[in-house]
Structure 1
């Protein structure tokens, strides 16, 4: 664990040092899942001068078919929440300091075999009552898998991946790595990926890992499982790309306002996304069916984000609107369940404050982003939340029920205004500041406690 921190300190020194001229031509663009990083630019020896370029592509054989790449991340985050959970949770005295350090190695043994491993250390200081499960994990093996790549023809390839791995599909509405919280989500999984012109198809069977706070003490969560198929067609439609998927989720102890029971849920969905002429869009529709205890499941969700960027105007403003809705349960006394389940979603689904989760809701979210400089962006936004069904409650991002319906007929849960500033201090060295104020709505006031929430976050993140 100390070794990871020493590596992190060294990485920060590298970030602060002047960049080599080669880096102006060959830049590392870290992916959200680091095993998706593209190292091709560093294959040429003249592009590997200076740090961290020198260890992004380390040839093992003479022709560079076998190589090793090293990288990692240092993230330091300070958070302060006044009146957490509307005053229902413990108040942190002076805020919380969250640290995350990762280090990975990507070993390519020619064009057909690849081994990827990643260590992660997440630490928490200052949380009243101690850290929650997504805040502290002293040391864990975050990723450890083997890829076997097989050509199936001139333009078709099959990749078989087995082992511990992070998963993310589409916009992360159903399956995401959970970047916001300190501890990222990972799975024990087997995955087959077929790629051919215009399409990528993934077939997977996975079981989430249950994070624990100690050293190498995580375990497979045997109560939950996920399997299915996810297909992406890049140029299949004239106005953008399409995702089509079928996922099956099983939870031996699914918990909703109706109660706790064994849940087996099938999700069928389609996502349309693209951009043209300054416009961009990301729309998704999901229908769910299955069983919950002795009853059946029938649930749904529609999510959308549409924006327009004025690239030829000063500060290049982008105006956007996100409108989202997900079903709730209409009668907690019967056996049928109508509450939508987002499965393994983003930890900060609506905002970094991570107060509410995407179940039984309607959300209206306008926002505007400006860029005073190439290295600096500012975003102002407003979120409005309602309960869709008055007989269902309000849920947290991880799915916990935070307010029972309690027979209240109020729909409005609340509104939040936020301001986010993101500034690039150097290449892949980002400073982010966020302030958010959540106004408690009629339903929260009717079920008490009902204090407004103030949230402040300052994050320093470097990827190398």
Structure 2
């Protein structure tokens, strides 16, 4: 008697399984069921970029591995472990170990020290994702990190960490009103903002996380996300285990709406795009909220209201992104009742042409950024200095991390190509100016202004030719290297700054 489902003899299980596996598709991308929002790197869905592995492991969908035919890697056995007969309850494990080392010849233009410095860090992120049916999941992730080096500097609690809880949340999902809906409550990482505004903080070793909730709804061409968080307090002294709590002084909240306009044709190819409309609010106190003064900084607290728009996508061989943010709000001085209004902005664009029909598939483009400054050297009037306090993608603005997105204009031609299928090379040549010459130069690492020994005159800061290489060594190992020479302007040199050579290497294992 033949099996009515397969058409193969019922007692020939080996033959049946083999034939079924040959017919079964191989799942190579593990994006969620977000439809059109999975285009590009998948970040338009609101959970960060997702390909084989995502920035956030809980944003990956490994449900296809329920079928053994889709398991192509030895570690796939850890990505889907059925816990009941029906497979409705299942567990997925994830992990990342990253080894990173730096070299700086004159860190932060010599403002921090004038000696060559080498630093080394290691971090581990390991998590478990428990699915209780199709509507409830529990995710937990632990973290630890350490740091060493010669003539190192700047190591703080976010570099050295005992074992602690990086993420721990419950998510409820379901369909209603024609949309896929979700509610996530607990400690989590958040990436539903442009990379030039918010990331999960890669440079200080330990990613930033948040405590609170987010609720989302995703229709075929509309996505809505609302959130309200307080920052996880991961700055306690000493590598003590499970000491992270909540930092109610720093908050992140807002709403993001993403629209997927109709597809179009352009430059002889297919075009598609996303339009992001968002409001993101910050509440800050302590060092991240301090404002520049004539000689140093003034302590206080601030509320920043960011109203932004971004249009990005592909038009045939052209990749584009155009974004603008207006940042309003208020600053409260710590030593008085005095307040000042905030009136700042950021404009970020990127335009590139991909030569699809050419060997190595090169891309040639230009990136421009403008972050407002002004008003910081007064005690009254509006503050015009834009701030981005929650760890922007440092490779976006400045690979060396010597600069950050405050009182800054950057113009960066770039060229990338892939001489091998496992290798990507990128060359970039950014030029930097102060947006307002009456305001300071600001550092990502120092989280504030540079205090040069002498007055800084002129607007040009310098240029930083740089190169990067990413090598994908199999499915689980990545080696990424960055090298740059930051050549400071004569004005910065006269003020007491210094040019610097920078190198960074990252060896990453993930599953």
Q: TM-score if structure 1 supplies the norm length?
A: 0.90
Q: Tell me which residue corresponds to 2:42.
A: none
Tell me: CA distance 1:353–1:22, structure 2 relative to 1, closer, same or farther (3 Å): farther
Contact 1:347 1:397 (8 Å CA) reproduced: no
Tell me: CA distance 1:42–1:61, structure 2 relative to 1, closer, same or farther (3 Å): same
Tell me: CA distance 1:235–1:42, structure 2 relative to 1, closer, same or farther (3 Å): farther
Q: Tell me which residue corresponds to 1:79.
A: 102
Q: Tell me which residue corresponds to 1:138.
A: 162
Is the partner of 2:198 in helix, strand or coil? Answer: coil
**Range with greater deviation from structure 2 (346-355 or 55-64):** 346-355
**Range with greater deviation from structure 2 (385-394 or 81-90):** 81-90
- Post-superposition shift, 1:158? 2.2
Tell me: CA distance 1:307–1:181, structure 2 relative to 1, closer, same or farther (3 Å): farther
Q: Deviations over 1:194-236 (max 9, x none)?
A: 1222122111111112323512222322221111101111336
Residue of structure 2 aligned with 1:309, choices 346, 354, 357 = 354
Q: Tell me which residue corresponds to 1:421.
A: 469
Aligned pairs, number: 443
Provide the C-alpha distance between the structure 2 equivalents of 1:159 and 1:378, rounded to a whole number of angstroms: 38
Is the partner of 1:445 in helix, strand or coil? Answer: helix
Residue 224 of structure 1 pairs with residue 250 of structure 2: yes
Provide the C-alpha distance between the structure 2 equivalents of 1:201 and 1:30, rounded to a whole number of angstroms: 24
**Range with greater deviation from structure 2 (286-295 or 214-223):** 214-223
Provide the C-alpha distance between the structure 2 equivalents of 1:87 and 1:373, rounded to a whole number of angstroms: 38
**Range with greater deviation from structure 2 (209-218 or 272-281):** 209-218
- Post-superposition shift, 1:376? 0.8
How do 1:266-415 and structure 2 match up within 5 A?
266-293=305-332, 294-330=339-375, 332-333=377-378, 334-348=380-394, 349-397=396-444, 400-404=447-451, 408-415=456-463
Q: Tell me which residue corresponds to 1:234.
A: 260
Q: Tell me which residue corresponds to 1:38.
A: 61
Provide the C-alpha distance between the structure 1 equivalents of 2:500 and 2:343, rounded to a whole number of angstroms: 33
- Post-superposition shift, 1:86? 1.4
Q: Tell me which residue corresponds to 2:494.
A: 446
- Post-superposition shift, 1:161? 0.8
Provide the C-alpha distance between the structure 2 equivalents of 1:186 and 1:172, rounded to a whole number of angstroms: 16
Q: Deviations over 1:392-432 (max 9, x none)?
A: 11112267223259764311111101111111111131112
Contact 1:289 1:299 (8 Å CA) reproduced: yes
For structure 1, the 5+ residue unaligned runs are 1-20
Is the partner of 2:493 in helix, strand or coil? Answer: helix
**Range with greater deviation from structure 2 (85-94 or 71-80):** 85-94
Q: Tell me which residue corresponds to 1:113.
A: 136
Contact 2:319 2:352 (8 Å CA) reproduced: yes
Contact 2:280 2:307 (8 Å CA) reproduced: yes
- Post-superposition shift, 1:162? 0.7
Q: Deviations over 1:354-400 (max 9, x none)?
A: 11100001000111001101111111111111001111111122672
Contact 2:263 2:273 (8 Å CA) reproduced: yes
Provide the C-alpha distance between the structure 1 equivalents of 2:209 and 2:174, rounded to a whole number of angstroms: 25
Contact 1:22 1:49 (8 Å CA) reproduced: no
Tell me: CA distance 1:176–1:422, structure 2 relative to 1, closer, same or farther (3 Å): same
Is the partner of 1:41 in helix, strand or coil? Answer: helix
Tell me: CA distance 1:170–1:221, structure 2 relative to 1, closer, same or farther (3 Å): same
- Post-superposition shift, 1:94? 5.9
- Post-superposition shift, 1:171? 2.6
**Range with greater deviation from structure 2 (204-213 or 416-425):** 204-213
- Post-superposition shift, 1:130? 6.0
Tell me: CA distance 1:49–1:363, structure 2 relative to 1, closer, same or farther (3 Å): closer
- Post-superposition shift, 1:331? 5.7
Q: Tell me which residue corresponds to 1:25.
A: 26
Provide the C-alpha distance between the structure 1 equivalents of 2:165 and 2:198, rounded to a whole number of angstroms: 20
How do 1:246-285 and structure 2 match up within 5 A?
246-253=279-286, 254-258=289-293, 259-285=298-324
Q: Tell me which residue corresponds to 2:14.
A: none
For structure 2, the 5+ residue unaligned runs are 1-21, 31-51, 265-271, 333-338
Q: TM-score if structure 2 supplies the norm length?
A: 0.82
Q: Deviations over 1:166-201 (max 9, x none)?
A: 011233222321234411111112111112221221
Provide the C-alpha distance between the structure 1 equivalents of 2:87 and 2:450, rounded to a whole number of angstroms: 57
Q: Tell me which residue corresponds to 1:165.
A: 188
Provide the C-alpha distance between the structure 2 equivalents of 1:91 and 1:220, rounded to a whole number of angstroms: 37
Tell me: CA distance 1:105–1:121, structure 2 relative to 1, closer, same or farther (3 Å): same
Is the partner of 1:52 in helix, strand or coil? Answer: helix
Tell me: CA distance 1:82–1:394, structure 2 relative to 1, closer, same or farther (3 Å): same
Residue of structure 1 aligned with 2:174, choices 150, 157, 164 = 150
The Cα RMSD (Å) is 2.4
Is the partner of 1:329 in helix, strand or coil? Answer: coil
